[in-house]
Amino acid sequence: MLNDRSTPAAFLATRRSGKPRDLVAPGPDADELTDMLTIAARTPDHGKIAPWRFVVVAPERRAALATLLTEACRSEKPGASAGEIAGLEQFAHQAPTLVVVLSSPRVDSPIPVWEQELSAGAACMNLLHAAHAAGYAAGWLTGWAAFSETVLGAFGAASERIVGFVFIGTPSRPLDERPRPAIDRIVSHW
């Protein structure tokens, strides 16, 4: 069973993201989402500087997100295909809940920006864990939109970066396991 919540160890051993395109209602309500974001904010954070932010995209703002994505793509990628534009439209409307996670480094801090960026990635992972622990599924996507200056400008400042788009909802079908790396291929001893 994937995302087995019977014990913390079972949960971590079976954790599997949901494909955002396969996530449907219900999604978390406002209180559940606040709880998830509170858990996500409990990430390792050298210096206690919270070098990340969460931007919740309300359901009624999804059409505006689709417009932002498609217009930015047409501007930044003049050769974008009709299929790519349609894919961005679909991207904006998948899953009932969307949180944009931003790396928001504190450049005045003695903590290296690299450590701050790692903390932002950990915040994304904690958000996935929080969603799954609450009985939902979540998927963390990046893609072209995460690297677009135009898209970033709609959510944050030039000094920030989009870590990912975290989609949360209920799986419309059973989650599929994916191949995992062989442990002897990724572990060495020094």
pLDDT tens by residue, 98-123: 999 999 999 999 999 999 999 999 99
* Local confidence pLDDT in tens for the 190 residues of the chain: 788 999 999 999 999 999 999 999 999 999 999 999 999 999 999 999 999 999 999 999 999 999 999 999 999 999 999 999 999 999 999 999 999 999 999 999 999 999 999 999 999 999 999 999 999 999 999 999 999 999 999 999 999 999 999 999 999 999 999 999 999 999 999 9
Beta bridge partners of 52: 103
- pLDDT at residue number 1: 79
Instruction: Please count the other Cβ atoms lying within 10 Å of the Cβ belonging to residue 5.
Output: 13
Which one-letter amino acid corresponds to residue 39?
I
Which one-letter amino acid corresponds to residue 111?
I
Instruction: Please count the other Cβ atoms lying within 10 Å of the Cβ belonging to residue 8.
Output: 10
Q: Which of 134, 176, 142 is nearest to 22 (CA)?
A: 176
Q: How far apart are CA 120 and CA 39, in angstroms?
A: 13
Strands (E), 80-156: 97-103, 137-141
pTM: 0.95
Strands (E), the chain: 23-24, 52-57, 97-103, 137-141, 161-171
